């Protein structure tokens, strides 16, 4: 009760707007304000920007995630790599000093086990998607549920399936060019709050802001 009274007194600008669920590992990772991480998530070397949320059971490694992204349950981003060519075994005991199985025979790293992923702004990733290492997902992209993304995805594209194939763009080109230039995701919270209804129709949005 007393604690609640204390927090009520903390001015709005000093309050933290972050939520981290149960059984979450945040290793060398940072969260901006207005970020939510659901239960059972694992983040290693990850930066998450404002108004982005991760649902439950999301694993992300070595990735930068932009603003206003929605990442559904069970998604895996940048999960790591094993050799698929030349090496006799895929097991890291022969090429990695990380001791994944408590032991290694390698005296140094012989194979790059991780890559870096980039997730833009306003990206929606459906449930149980897998995004391979070293993939760039640009602004406005939608990734269908269960998709396996093996190639970079251009702005405002929708990709689905395994391997993920291009389905269509979310909007016609003039809207995409405008949105990429306008970058509403960089507006401050006051502007977003005041104008949220404009976001409900791309034509009206373009009519209002497209020529400024």
> What's the CA gap between 202 and 205, in Å, rounded?
5
> In this chain, which of 132, 144, 157, 179 binds ligand COA, going by CB under 6 A?
144
Tokens 């990735």, residue located: 63
Give yes or no for residue 167 binding ligand COA (CB under 6 A): yes
Give yes or no for residue 160 binding ligand COA (CB under 6 A): yes
The residue among 62 and 159 lying less far from ligand COA, judged by its C-beta, is: 159
Q: What b-and-e string marks burial along 111-120, b requiring 16 or more CB atoms within 10 Å of the CB?
A: eebbbebebb
Question: Cβ contacts of residue 56 below 8 Å, gap of 6+?
Answer: 21, 38, 39, 40, 41, 73, 74
| Cβ 127 to ligand COA shortest distance, Å | 4
DSSP 53: E
Considering the candidates 17, 82, 200, 211, report the single residue annotated as catalytic. Answer: 82
> What's the CA gap between 72 and 30, in Å, rounded?
19
And the tokens for 115? 């890559």
- Kindly determine how many residues on this chain lie close enough to bind ligand COA according to the rule CB under 6 A: 12
| Cβ 203 to ligand COA shortest distance, Å | 18
Draw the binding track, 123-142, toward ligand COA (x: CB under 6 A; -: no contact).
Answer: ---xx--------------x
Indicate if 44 belongs to the active site.
no
The residue among 61 and 149 lying less far from ligand COA, judged by its C-beta, is: 149
> In this chain, which of 149, 158, 176, 179 binds ligand COA, going by CB under 6 A?
158
| Cβ 54 to ligand COA shortest distance, Å | 11
Task: From 32-40, 153-161, 173-181, 183-191, give the range in contact with ligand COA by CB under 6 A.
Answer: 153-161
What is the total residue count of the chain?
Answer: 212
And the tokens for 39? 């239960």
And the tokens for 167? 């389905």
DSSP codes joined into one string, 76-92: EES------SS-S---G
Active site positions, annotated: 82
Instruction: Please report, as ranges, the residues that interact with ligand COA according to CB under 6 A.
Output: 72, 126-127, 142, 144-147, 158, 160-161, 167
């Amino acid at each position: 009760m007393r604690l609640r009274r204390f927090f009520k007194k903390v001015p709005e600008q000093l309050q933290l707007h972050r939520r981290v669920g149960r059984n979450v590992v945040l290793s060398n990772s940072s969260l901006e304000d207005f970020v939510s991480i659901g239960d059972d998530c694992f983040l290693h070397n990850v930066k998450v920007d404002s108004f982005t949320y991760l649902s439950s059971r999301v694993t992300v490694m070595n990735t930068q995630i932009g603003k206003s992204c929605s990442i559904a349950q069970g998604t895996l981003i940048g999960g790591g790599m094993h050799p698929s060519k030349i090496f006799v075994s895929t097991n890291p005991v022969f090429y990695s000093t990380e001791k994944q199985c408590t032991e290694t025979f390698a005296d140094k790293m012989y194979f790059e086990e991780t890559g870096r992923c980039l997730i833009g702004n306003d990206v929606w990733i459906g449930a149980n998607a897998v995004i391979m290492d070293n993939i760039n997902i640009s602004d406005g992209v939608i990734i269908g549920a269960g998709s396996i993304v093996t190639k970079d995805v251009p702005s405002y594209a929708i990709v689905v399936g395994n391997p993920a194939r291009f389905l269509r763009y979310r909007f016609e080109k003039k809207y995409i060019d405008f949105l990429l230039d306008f970058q509403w995701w960089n507006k401050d919270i006051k502007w977003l709050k005041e104008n949220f209804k404009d976001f409900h129709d791309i034509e009206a949005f373009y009519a209002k802001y497209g020529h400024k």
